[in-house]
Amino acid sequence: MISSVLPTYSRAPLSFVKGEGCWLIDETGRRFLDVAGGIAVNVLGHAHPALVSALTDQAGQLWHTSNLYNIPNQQALADALVEHTFADTVFFTNSGTESMECAVKMARKFHYENGAPERNEIIAFNGSFHGRSLGMISAAGAEKLTKGFGPLLPGFIHVPFADLDATKAAISDKTAAILIEPVQGEGGIVPVPDQFLKALRELCDQNGILLILDEIQCGMGRTGKLFAHEWAGVTPDIMAIAKGIGGGFPLGACLATERAASGMVAGTHGSTYGGNPLACAVGKAVMNIVADDTFLTGVGEKAGLFRQKLEGLVANHPDIFEEVRGSGLMLGIKCKVTNIDVVNAGYDAQILTVPGGDNVIRLLPPLNISNDEIATAVDRLDQAATALEAKQ
Ligand SMILES: *Cc1c(COP(=O)(O)O)cnc(C)c1O
């Protein structure tokens, strides 16, 4: 008999009832170190006091009005995002997928309004992930996402990851935009070389094409800069964000330059809940803490420590692990045994990680994880690896 929850996830037999910082506590009182971070969502851990008070204060005032009226929290969060990024304007959503849908609609509308409606194709990369709507499974293109769900949305061209010649060859007078994650997340923590992002920016400028970045997983301080593209010293025309910006409250956004957004006039796009007062109260509190140079420098330092300890872990378990990769606190360990087995052994050692593509386990901890917690995480991964070795 089908479960009352549609069984689209194979869930671990764990149920958490409380969170405190980097820790999740289950029904039996066991404490798990959470370096999964709700898949890069809990950027400030669980029950951060500033986020709890932002949410509860707003909850006592006003929950929802719709976008028929001005929403002061939304205005303030948009101002903060504009102040700290390339963007001139922001559309708020409830999820990453919706942010990406807005990005693609915006790029097509830009060319339509500029008298080039035939420019509606988006070039995307193999191994990418942009969400689960029909549009976004079409954008990513992988069979594991699309099989059985056709017909797909036309207008997406797929090229090998970070392959400049293939990208150039895919450009035509129908190209509207190039879409890329600066660090592939679901694909297995694969950073795009800075040189490649720079080259994409040049290609876009030379050909009148828009550059769309999906920073839903790698943005919001994750790599040690507020947004991952800052490492390459280039800016996009349009950027989708979500996950970390809400710190656990559903919130996403599509950021854009004034030029790229010029077609999105009143009536062209909307959302009932997007930018709701509760979500934006939390988003503001997250931005207050994360968009701070000292905080971001701290992320870089913790990332250096974590990575160094993980290199040691990999060296100590050559039959289990192959390599460490990633950027900042967006870390992946490529496994030699099945990654799901490592994740499961982690559960026994009371540490939470996330499987990813290319047989990787992902570590996406809260950005305020302490040095002691980093040491504990590596100890517990060591325990998990030792248990797996004993079974071999
Ligand atoms: C999670 C994710 C999405 C989809 O976000 P949802 O909030 O699940 O809709 C899109 N792109 C990337 C890179 C992601 O990591």
- Do 261 and 275 fall within a single domain? yes
Residue-range definition of the domain harbouring residue 88? 50-290
Residue 167 lies in a domain: yes
Q: Which atom of ligand 1 is closest in space to residue 214's alpha carbon?
A: 13
Please tell me whether 312 is known to bind a ligand: no
Q: Which atom of ligand 1 is closest in space to residue 95's alpha carbon?
A: 7
The residue nearest atom 6 of ligand 1, judged by CA position, is 96
Examine the fold and report which residue of 248, 273, 290 is the final residue of a domain before the chain moves on: 290
The residue nearest atom 15 of ligand 1, judged by CA position, is 217
Residue 2 lies in a domain: no
In tens, the pLDDT along 126-184 reads 999 999 999 999 999 999 999 999 999 999 999 999 999 999 999 999 999 999 999 99
| Pocket of ligand 1 contains residue 130 by CB under 6 Å | yes
In tens, the pLDDT along 8-38 reads 999 999 999 999 999 999 999 999 999 999 9
In tens, the pLDDT along 251-310 reads 999 999 999 999 999 999 999 999 999 999 999 999 999 999 999 999 999 999 999 999
In tens, the pLDDT along 213-257 reads 999 999 999 999 999 999 999 999 999 999 999 999 999 999 999
pLDDT tier, 330 (very low <50, low <70, confident <90, very high otherwise) = very high
- Predicted TM-score (pTM) of the model is 0.98
- Do 170 and 190 fall within a single domain? yes
- Do 232 and 360 fall within a single domain? no
Please tell me whether 325 is known to bind a ligand: no
Examine the fold and report which residue of 235, 260, 290 is the final residue of a domain before the chain moves on: 290
Interaxial angle between packed helices 277-290 and 293-316, expressed in degrees from 0 to 180 and rounded to the nearest 10: 80
Give the strand order in the sheet containing 360-363: 321-327, 330-335, 360-363, 354-356
| Pocket of ligand 1 contains residue 364 by CB under 6 Å | no
Contact 275, 74 (CB under 8 A): yes
- Do 265 and 308 fall within a single domain? no
The domain tally of the chain equals 2
- Do 235 and 252 fall within a single domain? yes
Tokens representing residue 351 in the block:
């540490």
CATH number at residue 382: 3.90.1150.10
- Do 283 and 308 fall within a single domain? no
Examine the fold and report which residue of 290, 310, 343 is the final residue of a domain before the chain moves on: 290
What number is the average pLDDT over the span 345-351?
Answer: 98
Tokens representing residue 388 in the block:
């797996």
Q: What are the two backbone dihedrals, phi and then psi, of residue 183, each rounded to the nearest 5 degrees? A: -130, 115
- Do 100 and 118 fall within a single domain? yes
pLDDT tier, 119 (very low <50, low <70, confident <90, very high otherwise) = very high
Residue 5 lies in a domain: no
| Pocket of ligand 1 contains residue 376 by CB under 6 Å | no
- The end-to-end CA distance of the chain, in Å, is 36
